Structure 1
Amino acid sequence: MDGDMTYKLIALDVDGTLLNDEHEISEQTLKTIKEVSSQGAEIVLCTGRGPQNSIPFMEQMGLSGYVISHNGAVTVKTDTREVVHQFALDVKAIAPYLNYFREIKVHFDVNTAFNMYVDSVDGLAVEVRSMYENFLMLPSVLPSMDEFSEPIVKVTLFDYAEKLDEIYQELSKWTPEFNILRSGEYFVDLMNPEASKGHALENLAKSKGIRQEEVLALGNYYNDITMLTYAGKGIAMDNSPLDVKAAADEVTASNNEDGVHAALLKYCLS
């Protein structure tokens, strides 16, 4: 084992990390996670997904505890669905962004902790609809902003990578009032500037009296960098972009080769 370090909190990204490209947890990885959990380490999922399509994976693994969802904007208790922490967006500040997204015809959704809204449900393009089906989500129609009774935590853009690269460049010239993040090849997220996986993970660890060096994190994309650098040990998947690998302490196998299993075996079970 890594000196005598015992990892007490293990943060796992979901897509591209815990799940293989078929959106499944392999039998091998499942078995290893259950074993690590039975030895007392707490597993927390840290994902760009909302709680409603990440909590089922906790249930599949037989775990209670927490999911850090919407890339750190919302932390939810798995069994009670209670929101223990959220970073809300300034609704007035969002308006010009949404108008711009409509002008340039990029698809976006607006998220509260548990719900997702789009301008039109009927008019969804085929690839947009299949993306939501893949993520087990069905959005509702976006009401006017003054009708929201709960905080908005994230706005997500969905389009081809090249188009998102251009939009990301353009938005980086605007007054920096949001955390704007490439959260996947086909996604860009707008969040509260305080919201990140690393920040949410740090808050959770502190609330449990767990020291930074007792935290292990695994991820594969740019939105995982904050948690990989916060954790005492940050491990990137082999399918990560180079910048993500550079931010990590080491690299494990890919998400299609049971990389999570390999890392947990090395640091938590050996």
Structure 2
Amino acid sequence: MFHLQTLITYDYQLYLMNNDRLMNDIRLIVTDMDGTFLNSEHQVSPEFPEIYEELKRRNILFVPASGRQMSGITKYFGEKEKEMAFIAENGGYMIYKNKEIFADELDEQYVAEIIQTIRKIPGATTVISGKKTAYYETENQSFVDYIAQFYTGNQKLDDLTVALDDSIFKIAVYHPDGSEEHLYPALEKFQKYNLEVVVSGKFWLDIMNKDINKGNALEKLQKTLNISPQQTMVFGDYMNDIEMMKKAEYSYAMQNAHPSVKEAAKFEALSNNNFGVLDTIKNYLNAK
């Protein structure tokens, strides 16, 4: 048995007793990053290395899945990167053991129109996320410093409506007063162009090709590795995690999650500031 100091709640113990086969065959654990795996200071729990080694010993693959740029995810995992899978750009880009297994390219036909619409929204700022790097046009240095934690590679351009020599995964839009209220109403109309427009965080909204989401990326990974939804556990906190919830038998919304995510998930984990992802994983490992 894997020994870590942890408290298993009465409800969880009762659920285990009534479900003898609970998670006996878990082979894949997939987690969102911001608001889920990372705490509010964007930190990884100091317990993660020990837990990760135990997951590896049990042949359970740990997979971060985020709206972040790929390098903005992998930087947290060091040498472990070469043996892990990662889902980046809200499902638009996926690697496994440092090999690309899926890369989408945003249809650029409507990019200029989208950028021009965003420019008319007071307080909105745009980041175009490409395979080579991320691009922005704002002069606001505070914003540039802020996005550097998510987009470790970034470049300023004078005009984002100009065609780029890069594969573009998505358009990410930031609003300091909230994306659901201030961005989505103005940008949802672009869904008519066969694009996904999704609120991906309290302050962020993403625009991608239709059917690009974490759920479809997870399904591709499951098929690649011959792992079923019944062998999959997922964690998330915002609306861009909902499609992923549908691809796993064991779906967890964080205590701090958006209400719609809690409705979509089957279970609830402790908040990200209590490292609820690792708390749930420890409960599982200690119960086996």
Q: Using structure 2 for the length normalisation, give the TM-score.
A: 0.84
Unpaired runs of at least 5, structure 1:
none
Equivalent position SS for 2:54: helix
Paired residues, number: 265
Residues 69-78 or 173-182, more deviating: 173-182
Alignment of 1:1-270 (within 5 A): 3-4=20-21, 5-59=24-78, 64-78=83-97, 80=98, 82-104=99-121, 106-120=124-138, 123-126=139-142, 128-135=143-150, 137-142=152-157, 147-162=163-178, 165-174=181-190, 175-270=192-287
- Secondary structure of the equivalent of 2:78? helix
Gap change, CA 1:111 and 1:23, over 3 Å in 2:
same
Distance 1:177 1:246 in 2: 26
For 1:184-222, what per-residue CA distance to the aligned partner results, in whole angstroms no more than 9, with x for missing partners?
A: 111010011111001000100101111111111011111
Using a 3 Å threshold, how does the CA distance of structure 1 residues 232 and 268 change in structure 2: closer, same or farther? farther
Asked whether the equivalents of residues 130 and 168 of structure 2 are also in contact (C-alpha less than 8 Å), the reply is yes
**Amino acid in structure 2 at the alignment position of 1:137:** T
Cα deviations by residue, 1:146-165 (Å, 9 ceiling, x for unpaired)? 75343211100011234652
Q: 1:138 to 1:88 in 2, by over 3 A?
A: closer
Moved more, 207-216 or 155-164: 155-164
SS in 2 for 1:216: strand
1:34 aligns to what SS in structure 2?
helix
Alignment RMSD: 2.2
How many Å separate the matches in 1 of 2:116 and 2:272? 37
Deviations 1:215-269 (A, max 9, x none): 1101111111111121121011111121111111100111111211221123344
Q: Determine helix, strand or coil for the equivalent of 2:35.
A: coil
Find the aligned partners of 2:251 and 2:20 in 1 and give their Cα distance.
Answer: 16
- The corresponding residue for 2:9 is none
Distance 1:221 1:193 in 2: 19
- Please give the TM-score of this superposition, normalised by the length of structure 1: 0.89
Gaps of 5+ in 2: 1-15
> Contact 2:111/2:161 (CA < 8 Å) preserved in 1?
no
SS at match of 1:262: helix
Matched residue type, 1:177 = N
- Aligned pair in 2 of structure 1 residues 230, 156: CA closer, same or farther (>3 Å)? same
Q: Secondary structure at the match of 1:230?
A: coil
Alignment partners' CA distance in 1, 2:283 and 2:82: 21
Contact preservation (8 Å) 1:66, 1:77: yes
State the shift of 1:28 in Å: 2.6
In structure 2, C-alpha distance between the alignment counterparts of 1:163 and 1:42, rounded to whole Å: 32
- 1:61 deviates by 5.5
Distance, in Å, in 2 between the alignment partners of 1:189 and 1:167 is 10
